[in-house]
Structure 1
Amino acid sequence: MEEYTAEDVIEDRKELVDQLMQNYGQDILQLAYSYVKDTGAAEDLTQEIFIKCYKKLHTYDGKSKMKTWLWRIAINHCKDYLKSWYIRNVFTDGSDNFQKSTSPDDVEKKVIQNSEGQQLMGAVMELPVKYREVIYLFYYEDLPLNEISTLTGKNVNTVKTRLRKAKKLLRKKLGG
């Protein structure tokens, strides 16, 4: 997706948000699911995130990539949801299997579909949010550490520490 200036954003909000939904909708859904572990809640959060994006588009200043701006909104919205009274007081069962949507010939999809991939995904989803978040952004979204730092609001060393701790927890869970 091409990058936009702040002026582009002001001129055509609806078209831009439609394009963002088309390009990043599935990724945002997966990110939301990685936080809430519930397909229905993740779908609701995804809709809310794009509504918030539409409403806040005038705040985009062009200093970061549009994708980074959208991910920051998504991460903050998911964290706000987790802090809300509803999620603390109403238990939701996130037992649905959720897989990253990729092209049919993509090797990652084949790995995720086999039993080892399912076991790994299950172990990742059992991690505390602060570790699950960095694993997801680093391995599933292929983001560099400095961008993860920007998105999470944590310094790069904290991101590295969380990534290292997450891998250690995964090895322990998977018996390796």
Structure 2
Amino acid sequence: MNRTSEFKKLIQQIKEHDGEADTFLEAKVKPSVLRIIRNHRLTYQEEDLWQEIRTQVWKKIDTCLADSEDCLKNWIRSITYHHCRNVLRSEKRAPVLLQYCSETEDRVHAGASDSSLADQELKKTLDRALKNRFERTVIELRYVYDYTPTEIAQKLQKSINTVNTSLLRAKKHLRTYLLDSHQQRQQILLHKERQRV
């Protein structure tokens, strides 16, 4: 890697949180970072995100392989893009977590008007199939929002064994419910067919 002495100095200044590095970040990097934030429609938390991204740059600067200012800017843009994407993902998951909180238990379906018809149908099916609120939440987090069992355990502040057991029970209840409803449909169709004859 052929870094100029001036560029090496800039990298060192970023590592040390030097004022000149802050000037570089504010003047040459921040405008493009803010553009990425706006493109992700996260303008309501622009300054917070900028601070989080700066912190990530400071933490990860040792892994940076850039050998010029332009490469460094691209590296920071990449960090920004991934950070914004992760923020959006976590915001999409947040309403589900609120449903399990005991403080918001009464307001679980407040945002139902915003959800699509498929989401509403899924929720109805889960409500009918799973009477246990915790099992419903765990299944939804796992299979609708793609959380891993470890992430679910952390978010709900439960042990991984509790989450895995709840997943197994919930899958068993769902399987039973779906088989029963399928058999009922088959019986109804058979009954209608017999009435025609």
Same topology, TM > 0.5: no
**Per residue, is there more helix in 1 or in 2?**
2
Alignment TM-score, normalising by the size of structure 1: 0.41
Point out the structure with max Rg over C-alpha: 2
Greater relative contact order, per chain length (Cα 8 Å cut-off, separation 6+) = 1
Give me the TM-score of the superposition, normalised by structure 2. 0.37
